[in-house]
């Protein structure tokens, strides 16, 4: 936290203050910014907005309490916070003990509420839960005056945040890292997140949408233990067909029997104008009458359905050493790349792994990237495939 600076003569300032403000924007270390804030009152005024622009409160309970006290004693600092990551360490909703005194959990709840009420200019919020879990966490998000463009939720259930989301129509980027467990009663009206352009969530969240959104980027995960509804889970992708450019699909925990060629064919019919398609496949056994060559032919045929596909990325699950893909690669990675490029004239870049990794559940895969120019020349370079949750 920035302390009040010592007073120093302004004669020591050799440059206009607005230039110092630009210089301080290149300082990435908060400790350095703190020292700058303490050097003079003039530097404090220029540096403190940079220090409080992005705040991370995930270390421990004391960090949250200390920051709440800072917001309460110097409310102007809260107006500088535009990006906040906060962990909710309380175990339950606010309560009192037998003598009517606030419990430690209630004290923590109050601290979180003080912080969220002070950051009126907040634009990006990431929430997570500390060591404890409670269905009452949603109460801390009530009555917030800020208007977000980004909300990342790592731990709260959808029912815990849905009222909050209804009050945030300005959100453009939404991450929901919890299983959706669609039970049929949750539906999003057309007024819900009307400006959404980027979403990362459980694939079952698609069932809740009843109308289009201006989505351009979509990252969908299959959570372990969910019921597999086949391609019907992706039916609502057509709601975003006019705007969607990029689709990433993590099927590593998929429990169904729809193989990747069938899945890509379904997506190609729903989203023929997609520009990027990335798939981390699940383990789907080939039918007894289906050969590896026949499966790859269907794979290529499905790719041909996309009319604007520029980038295609594919990998079997990290632990799947029996995937048809490894048998296909026996003909050589370069030859496989040529066949993929030949299946769709719009493709310019493809990535895929060339050897099994044989480990459980990793998010970054070593791969080969093939790029093709307008003269059909193909270049090959080492690359990585990333299918894990995106960094904030």
Q: Is 45 among the domain residues?
A: yes
**Residue at a domain's end among 150, 171, 192:** 171
Please provide the average confidence, as pLDDT, over all residues in the chain: 82
Domain interval for residue 39? 1-54
Cα–Cα distance between 342 and 299 in angstroms, integer? 12
Q: Is 190 among the domain residues?
A: no
**Residue at a domain's end among 36, 54, 72:** 54
Q: Is 390 among the domain residues?
A: yes
**Residue at a domain's end among 54, 70, 98:** 54
* 47 in the same domain as 21: yes
User: How does residue 208 score in pLDDT terms, banded at 50, 70 and 90?
Assistant: very high
Residue 198 pLDDT greater than 50, yes or no: yes
* 378 in the same domain as 299: yes
What is the three-class DSSP state of 172?
coil
**Maximal C-alpha separation, the chain:** 85
Residue 286 pLDDT greater than 90, yes or no: no
> pTM of this prediction?
0.84
Cα–Cα distance between 157 and 193 in angstroms, integer? 17
Provide the pLDDT for residue 363. 74
Number of domains present in the structure of the chain: 3
Provide the pLDDT for residue 348. 97
* DSSP secondary structure string for all residues of 321-381: TT-HHHHHGGG-HHHHHHHHHHH-TT--EEEE-SS----SS-SEEEEEEEEE-TT--EEEE
Cα–Cα distance between 64 and 111 in angstroms, integer? 7
Percent of the chain predicted with pLDDT > 90? 47
Backbone dihedral angles phi then psi of residue 378, each to the nearest 5 degrees = -110, 130
Provide the pLDDT for residue 15. 44
User: How does residue 83 score in pLDDT terms, banded at 50, 70 and 90?
Assistant: very high
The residue with greater pLDDT, 311 or 94, is 311
* 259 in the same domain as 121: no
User: How does residue 33 score in pLDDT terms, banded at 50, 70 and 90?
Assistant: low
Provide the pLDDT for residue 62. 85
Q: Is 187 among the domain residues?
A: no
Whether the CA torsion 184, 189, 193, 196 is positive or negative: it is positive
Region 118-145: mean pLDDT is 80
* 371 in the same domain as 231: yes
């Amino acid at each position: 936290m920035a302390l009040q600076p010592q007073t120093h003569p302004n004669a020591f300032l050799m440059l206009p203050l607005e230039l110092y403000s630009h210089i301080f924007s290149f300082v990435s270390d908060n400790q350095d910014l703190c020292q700058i804030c303490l050097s003079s009152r003039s530097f404090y005024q220029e540096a403190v907005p940079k220090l409080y622009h992005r705040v991370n409160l995930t270390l421990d309970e004391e960090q949250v309490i200390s920051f709440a006290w800072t917001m309460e004693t110097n409310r102007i600092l809260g107006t500088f916070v535009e990006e906040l990551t906060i962990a909710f360490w309380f175990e339950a909703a606010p309560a009192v003990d037998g003598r009517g005194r606030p419990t430690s959990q209630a004290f923590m709840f109050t601290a979180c509420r003080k912080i969220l009420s002070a950051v009126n200019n907040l634009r990006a919020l990431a929430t997570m839960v500390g060591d404890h879990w409670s269905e009452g966490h949603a109460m801390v998000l009530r009555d917030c005056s800020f208007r977000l463009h980004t909300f990342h939720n790592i731990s709260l259930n959808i029912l815990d945040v849905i009222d909050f989301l209804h009050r945030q129509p300005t959100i453009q980027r939404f991450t929901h890292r919890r299983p959706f467990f669609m039970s049929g009663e949750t539906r999003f009206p057309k007024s819900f997140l009307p400006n959404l352009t980027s979403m990362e969530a459980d694939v079952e969240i698609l069932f809740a949408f009843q109308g289009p959104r201006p989505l351009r980027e979509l990252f969908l995960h299959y959570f372990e233990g969910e019921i597999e509804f086949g391609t019907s889970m992706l039916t609502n992708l057509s709601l975003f067909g006019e705007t969607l450019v990029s689709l990433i699909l993590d099927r590593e925990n998929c429990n169904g029997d729809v193989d990747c060629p069938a899945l890509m064919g379904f997506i190609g019919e729903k989203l023929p104008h997609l520009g990027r398609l990335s798939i981390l496949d699940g383990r789907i056994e080939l039918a007894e009458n289906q050969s590896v060559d026949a499966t790859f032919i269907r794979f290529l045929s499905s790719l041909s359905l996309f009319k604007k596909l520029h980038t295609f990325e594919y990998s079997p699950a990290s632990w799947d050493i029996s995937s048809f893909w490894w048998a296909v690669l026996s003909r050589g990675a370069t030859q496989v790349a040529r066949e993929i490029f030949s299946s769709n004239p719009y493709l310019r870049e493809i990535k895929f792994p060339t050897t099994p990794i044989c480990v459980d559940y990793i998010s970054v895969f070593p791969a080969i990237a093939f790029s093709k120019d307008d003269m059909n020349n193909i270049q090959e370079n080492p690359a990585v495939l990333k299918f894990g949750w995106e960094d904030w």
